[in-house]
Structure 1
Amino acid sequence: MKPESSQSARAWPVADLVITAALIALFTWALSSSMEWSVRAALFPRLVTTFGLAIALLHLVLLLVRRRSGTSADAGHGLVPISDPEDDPLDYAFSTAGRRAWTVSLAWIAAFFVGLYVLGVLVTAPLFTLAYLRLTVRASWRLSVAYAAVIGVLLYVVFELLLTVPTPDGVLF
């Protein structure tokens, strides 16, 4: 373990705070938007957004408590051992990803949400899965088509047939 200066242990985790605040705002907006829907249509979105909001708020509290107590985010608090940040492949990936990698990732996310708006969830999820697996992951056609088919069938069976929860339609479908 490396010795830390008191200043580095007290530094604000700015990126964590910004992302957490954005998630809190997003989940709050989504939850308030779902209040206009019927109880049946809003059941799943309310569950997801409430859970997401709770987790984001908990993360914010943990960030503030760590800041106040003077421990770094990497110091750990008991249950799960925290690895050295230099050994963490996720930290490495985020800190070394170039502008192109970030742009491509954000473009895929934007394409997914545009697809949801235009095509609806039952069409977008399988199409996006197929496109992402083929173009980015470079998975085989067999795996990509099978995975997309399972996603499409699963969404349709669970939401339309079993739960009879209406899924949001797109502009076209």
Structure 2
Amino acid sequence: MLSFGKMEQKFSEKEKSAFAEQKNNLYLQAIQKMDETSVLPGAIAVLEYLKNTNIKIGLGSASKNACLILEKTNLTSYFDVLIDGTQVSKAKPDPEVFLKGAQQLNVPPNACLVIEDSEAGCQAALAGNMHVLGIGENINLPSAEYVIPDLTVFDQVRSFWHLSEAVSRI
């Protein structure tokens, strides 16, 4: 049920489906407008650090548009493995997307660090026996082992997991 002001109206399944299709079309239009300037501050620096230190990078996303977004923002080349919503049957907080990524990277789950901005994603990583660095606010990511406000402060928390040392032993 959706509420408009003081009026409440129930929508038919057909109307709900039309709203969902309209929302998806608007989302796809927004994706088409994406470019390098759409990338979150600090993200490229983190990806470059990981690549330059020979750390394997995987993307695990429930979105069926993840590959398109990476293509539009010119980030695809940073990733060794891409697992998106077209390759998994279970949504987060199920760990399937992350476990499949770890398997394709040939990295044990307990040697993985998941950088996540949603609580369901944090829960999925923990359920997969992975470490979790939350991006956002502590109150919204209670399952994360460590939380930073955004990726611009990533350099300050590398010691959190001794990322280079742990991954280089694999």
> TM-score, length-normalised on structure 1?
0.26
Greater share of residues in helix? 1
Higher RCO, 1 vs 2 (CA within 8 Å, ≥6 residues apart): 1
Larger Rg: 1
